[in-house]
Amino acid sequence: MTNPRFLPPRAAYVHVPFCRHRCGYCNFTLVAGRDDLVEAFLEAQAQELSWLRGPHPVDTLYIGGGTPTHLDVGPLKRLLDLVLRCFPLFDHAEFTVEANPYDVSQEKLELLRSAGVNRISLGVQSFDRSKLMMLERDHRCEHVERAVELARAEFDVSLDLIFAAPQETLAGWRADLEHALRLAPDHLSTYGLTYDRGTRFWARLAKGRLTRLEESVELQMYEMALDRLPLAGLGHYEISSFARPGHRCRHNEAYWTGRTYFGVGPGAARHIAGRRELNHRSTTTYLRRVLAGQSPVTESELLSPEASARERLAFALRRMDGVEKTNFGNETGYTIEALMQDRLQQFVDQGLLQDRGAHFCLTRAGILLCDSVCGALLTA
């Protein structure tokens, strides 16, 4: 059986780095208030895409950011045309675009739909005004409700929520979940707030101007989502992801199951023929390099077969379906037992992993300690 890391990519990611402003917790590759760079960005996209010598038909196409919908209609159309010439869609493909609820308009949605976009991912984060202000978001609850109302007729709608904001209560998080459920999304992702080095929140935390929520409360918030969302028909299929039947994010599943993928734009990653590459995270450096005819790649690594197998195992265990033993062995050349050795039985004995015969899966306790378990698999 062919190792999927050597199959031609049928997934592509395009990164759009523009935002109206940078939120205090954000560590993504973006520039705020630099719309003067949009023209150069489109030229660079045309150049980088031309180097791929397409077309390369794909099953999943994902345009993220930044905020793709921050682009005005004209530049957004040019970007879509460029991307689709390189990555035309197979029949029944999934085509996702991330959107800020504040930017969503009927005109932009019509443009996206005409280009074949069938899935919108809205960065909601919360419905509570004070929490949104604390997170430094520029939208409010009414923007979310209007965006969902406009989008639901033509698109699958996915919502992102953040929990464990400073001073957030269990009641407040429950209210966010219930509000999201009233909007009946097809997909919902929940993320605990992180304080990444280099962000304003990191600096404020270090100076004592922010207080991280207690870990026990954050855990209760996560468990609240685990219990409540499936009752509303949103099945838990990945550590942070919940979906109605038939509405899982197929693009992300390509990552989690070790498939190859293209990546274009500043900070974009790609995985092709066993090699991982990362474009420069600085938008201005990326533009300067590409427009000068130079590669934007700043990191490149050819993974060994064992490293690739370990990585695939760690990502696959994030899925509630777990890892199918026979397929994993056939496709990677390694058994799970050989990779994990004594740690496999250790995690089973600790109640973090369960052996279902054909599959290994995280238990409920393992789900709560997923980062620790999966991190151990990479170095076992």
Output the pLDDT for position 337.
Answer: 87
- Cβ contact 187:248 at 8 Å: yes
Domain count, the chain: 2
User: Is residue 269 assigned to a domain?
Assistant: no
- The verdict on 208 and 348 lying in the same domain is no
- Identify the bridge partners of residue 191 per DSSP, sorted by sequence position: 162
User: Which of 82-96, 299-313, 314-328, 363-377 has the highest mean predicted lDDT (pLDDT)?
Assistant: 82-96
Output the pLDDT for position 107.
Answer: 97
The CA-CA-CA angle for residues 127, 131, 133, to 5°, reads: 105
- The verdict on 83 and 207 lying in the same domain is yes
Indicate the Cα dihedral angle 202, 32, 276, 2, nearest 10°: 110
Q: Using CB atoms within 10 Å of the CB of residue 145, give its burial: 0 to 12 exposed, 13 to 18 middle, 19+ buried.
A: middle
CA distances from 252 to 14, 151, 228, 259, 260 (A): 14, 21, 23, 10, 11
Last residue of a domain, one of 218, 237, 256: 256
User: Is residue 295 assigned to a domain?
Assistant: no
* pLDDT at residue 6 greater than cutoff 80: no
Q: Which domain holds residue 230?
A: 4-256
Output the pLDDT for position 344.
Answer: 84
- What CATH number corresponds to the domain at position 40? 3.20.20.70
User: Is residue 272 assigned to a domain?
Assistant: no
Give Dmax (Cα) for the chain: 58
- The verdict on 252 and 328 lying in the same domain is no
- The verdict on 179 and 71 lying in the same domain is yes
- The verdict on 250 and 365 lying in the same domain is no
* pLDDT at residue 274 greater than cutoff 60: yes
Last residue of a domain, one of 220, 237, 256: 256
User: Is residue 309 assigned to a domain?
Assistant: no
* pLDDT at residue 146 greater than cutoff 80: yes
- The verdict on 240 and 340 lying in the same domain is no
- The verdict on 241 and 115 lying in the same domain is yes
Output the pLDDT for position 380.
Answer: 56
Last residue of a domain, one of 231, 256, 281: 256
User: Is residue 308 assigned to a domain?
Assistant: no
Output the pLDDT for position 372.
Answer: 84
pLDDT tens track for 181-206: 999 999 999 999 999 999 999 999 99
Q: In degrees rounded to 5, what are phi and psi of residue 372? A: -70, -45
- The verdict on 165 and 37 lying in the same domain is yes
Report residue 379's pLDDT band, with 50, 70 and 90 as the boundaries. Answer: low
Output the pLDDT for position 33.
Answer: 92
- The verdict on 116 and 19 lying in the same domain is yes
pTM of this prediction? 0.95
User: Is residue 307 assigned to a domain?
Assistant: no
User: Is residue 306 assigned to a domain?
Assistant: no
3-state secondary structure of 168: coil
- The verdict on 186 and 109 lying in the same domain is yes
Output the pLDDT for position 21.
Answer: 87
pLDDT tens track for 207-219: 999 999 999 999 9
User: Is residue 234 assigned to a domain?
Assistant: yes
